[in-house]
Amino acid sequence: MSAADLQSRSAFELAELVRGGEVSAREVAEAFVSRTHEVEGSVRALVRWNAESALEQADRLDADRARGRELGPLAGVPVAIKDNLCLTGAEVTCGSQILRGYESPYDATAVARLLAADCVILGQANMDEFAMGSSCENSSYHPTCNPWDLERVPGGSSGGSAAAVAGGEVPLALGTDTGGSIRQPAALCGVVGLKPSYGRVSRWGLIAFASSLDQIGPLSIDVRDASLALGVLAGVDEKDSTSSPEPVADYVGQLEDGIDGLRVGVLSEIDEGDLDAGVLSNWRESLAHLESCGATLEAISIPSLKSAIAVYYVVANSEASANLARFDGMRYGHRSAEAESLRQLYDMSRSEGFGDEVKRRILLGTFALSSGYYEAYYGRALGVAARMKLEFEQAFGQVDLIVTPTSPTAAFRIGERVADPLAMYLSDVFTTPASLVGLPGLAVPSGFDASGLPLSLQILGRPFAENQVLRAGRAFERAAAVEPKRPEIGGRPVSTT
Ligand code: GLN
């Protein structure tokens, strides 16, 4: 099988080929290593990658198979891991200066589960510093470019993971999502991204941004691969007390059951005037595709949706200000060389180590939690989030799924929104509600705009109803039959079969 052929296969197909002995894990690793050599110089999706280590991991799998061990569900599948997930022996920095030189002594549970499923780790993906951002421009390393147009952002904060998949460097990547960081970059790069329900995947070993919202999930080329990956990742973990004991469904087994007869809610709060023209027409087509699959559309209302961005940025920043207090120059990473007192050591290490956006968030969060303002900001934001949860519960009494565009715009130009944090925050208008309420959310490619940039549909479901969300994504992906096109750099087509 040629390298080009292997590069165009899904993770599911690759694992089957390797498990069945039709190709070796080494051949698969070589194909993706060579692709990464070819495109990484222009895409810059990764902050660290190691061809030799990937080939060694693959050789070990081949040797195991030769000795008669049956390989796991991700046999030989090359993956990229976002740089906020702990990986034994590797530098893990959350895209930040402050963690430079930190070497993780352990694996995040999500990483350990991927490895136990026999994947091959190719490298670590770029991200906005501490996962704060929607464009990957807040990385302390370098911006990542969108494989569909190298002058545009890949989205964020899991922009490196999304670009690595879209550019064909890996068929599967891990991202994290606090307010949209898996779904929005998946949308901007034309790949599938799944944020599981809060608690579905253990957060052990994920460097925390906002602990009540953070979730780990896959970015992939199609919905079947997202389902396969979720099956590997999901499940209770004694190391994370917020991980759920809810049984893990057979996501792949139920995937082709279709959505005939399901009720799909369309939010009346979506203001079509806020959508780019290309997004709007694609959104209307997407609704028609869902109907063609036998779903019925129903208008529903979540009145507190209008406050989602404001609530999210108060809650997320408040939690971030507490979580990031541990980066003080004493325990991990960067320590200022200039300090002459303990107080100065804290001040200077943090001033030198954190980038501007992280500092802005810490300041805003600290303010929102300070005495005299706590109730007015943090308390009130939690109150609105609780109301939003009730509104979603009511809506889910009426419908099975809720859909929105994933992002109000296609990929924007690098630099276009850096000077305007508020414009950047508005990228998250459709993704933050599911985070605040803990719902599963799937971004599925839905076509291209007039300039050839990818667009995406977001499908939300009831808590822990990932199987229904994935089924709907699969049905939609088939119905929309997104034209397999290659990004400029010659990336993989989006698989729709
Ligand atoms: N873009 C959002 C933010 O900047 C979401 C980030 C995320 O989900 N990690 O906070």
Q: What is the pLDDT of residues 332-366, one digit of tens each?
A: 889 999 999 999 999 999 999 999 999 999 999 99
- Please check the confidence at residue 299 and state whether its pLDDT lies above 90: yes
Q: With bands split at pLDDT 50, 70 and 90, how would you rate the model's confidence at 493?
A: very low
For residue 181, the ligand 1 atom closest to its alpha carbon is 8
Residue 274: its pLDDT value, please? 84
Q: Is residue 321 among the annotated active site residues? A: no
pLDDT band at 491 (very low <50, low <70, confident <90, very high): very low
Q: Ligand 1: residues whose CB is within 6 Å?
A: 131-134, 157, 177-181, 209, 316, 428
Which ligand 1 atom lies nearest to the CA of residue 177?
8
Mutation choice for ligand 1 from 138, 321, 428, 435, CB with most ligand atoms inside 8 A:
428
Please state whether beta strands 192-195 and 441-448 pair in parallel, antiparallel, or not at all (unpaired). Answer: antiparallel
Q: pLDDT band at residue 486, thresholds of 50, 70 and 90?
A: low
Catalytic residue among 8, 10, 104, 157: 157
* 157 included as an active-site residue: yes
Name residue, tokens 């990229």. Answer: 80
Distance CA 377, CA 375 (A): 6
**Can you tell me which atom of ligand 1 is nearest the CA of 432?**
5
Q: How far apart are CA 421 and CA 28, in angstroms?
A: 41
Per the annotation, the verdict on 42 as an active-site residue is: no
- Distance between CA 197 and CA 217 in Å, rounded? 10
pLDDT-based confidence at residue 494 (cuts at 50, 70, 90): very low
Q: Whose CA is nearest to atom 10 of ligand 1?
A: 132
The predicted pLDDT at position 178 comes to 98
Round to whole Å and give the CA distance between 459 and 219.
Answer: 15
**β-pair type (192-195, 172-177):** unpaired
- CATH topology for 3-301+394-480? Amidase signature (AS) enzymes (3.90.1300)
CA of 344 to the centre of ligand 1 (A): 30
Please give the model's pTM, rounded to 2 decimal places: 0.96
Q: Which of 181, 197, 220, 456 is catalytic?
A: 181
Q: Which residues contact 217 (CB under 8 A, 6 or more apart)?
A: 174, 175, 176, 177, 182, 193, 194, 195, 196, 201, 226, 229, 230, 233
Express each pLDDT in 147-164 by its tens digit.
999 999 999 999 999 999
Q: For 67-119, what is each residue's pLDDT tens digit?
A: 999 999 999 999 999 999 999 999 999 999 999 999 999 999 999 999 999 99
**pLDDT value at residue 57:** 98
Q: How much distance in Å is there from the Cα of 210 to the middle of ligand 1? A: 10
pLDDT for residue 118: 98
Q: Which of 236, 150, 213, 148 lies closest to 381, judged by CA?
A: 213
pLDDT tens track for 416-468: 999 888 888 888 999 999 999 999 999 999 999 999 999 999 999 999 999 99
C-alpha 289/C-alpha 465 separation (Å) is: 21
pLDDT, tens digit, for every residue of 207-263?
999 999 999 999 999 999 999 999 999 999 999 999 999 999 999 999 999 999 999
Q: Of 135, 181, 407, 409, which is best to mutate to test ligand 1, by the most ligand atoms within 8 angstroms of its C-beta?
A: 181
How would you list the strands of the sheet with 120-125, edge to edge? 46-49, 120-125, 78-82, 172-177, 215-220, 192-195, 441-448, 454-461, 401-405, 263-267, 296-300
**Crossing angle (nearest 10°) for helices 380-398 and 308-323:** 130
| pLDDT of amino acid 489 | 73
Q: Where are the domains of the chain?
A: 3-301+394-480
Mean pLDDT of 260-282: 93
Which ligand 1 atom minimizes the distance to the CA of 210?
A: 9
